[in-house]
Chain A
């Protein structure tokens, strides 16, 4: 068994209304300490998790959306967003947070974490994983 596995966290649900999105993010943050090869995918209503300008005051719930911008610091920088899921909801990349990470092998250049992929491309990414977490 190889020391490093490819971990894929699949986020499929809207950020509020259920607790799945928040508790999924908790797994990602804890899991980052285990130094695996981590990817995240946002599909279906999961794409709403990354929308910018979230305001949860009316819900009286914790707004955890700023935490996604910390993922780069945890070396979680492969974030796949499914193109079709965005389009089906009338969203574009401009509606999402701009998530970046610093590449220490490239003089700490700031690079985009989000990779916009088609459903078919994402299927190929999934096929390449060792572990799939579904939330």
Chain B
């Protein structure tokens, strides 16, 4: 089955992001297709490479990046939500005059149309968050 995953909550604050990761990983291992993972609301905070949890804890951001590299996942961060919350790639940094970038490997910033397209193209949209 073809899935699009929507993640609406930030890492460490809320179980939603861990559940989304576990669901995505399990679906891939079962041979399902993940059309896209879309990060919205505070979910955009899953994509900052500056995240530095204590060493004895899971690294939520790295896990997404590694899963993306292994399975060629499309991890998309909503641009409007990202701008509000300070998630920046090179394009956004130059457009908005920022002096740094913090997007993690495997993630890209794009628009809400990517979420709607995902819902159209997939057989299931699965939303994680309250």
Contact = CB atoms under 8 A, between A and B. Distances in A.
Contacts of B129: 134
A109 interface: no
A23 B42 CA distance: 11
Contacts, number: 44
Contacts of A26: 80, 112
A30 B116 contact: yes
B124 to A, nearest CB: 9
By secondary structure, the A interface counts as: mixed
Interface string B55-86: 00000000000000000000000001100100
Contacts of B8: 20, 135
A27 B115 contact: yes
Specify which of B6, B81, B111, B125 lies most central, judged by the most chain A CB atoms within 10 Å of its CB.
Answer: B125
Contacts of A36: 116, 120
B125 A133 contact: yes
Interface of A: 1, 5, 7, 19-20, 23, 26-27, 30-31, 33-34, 36, 131-135
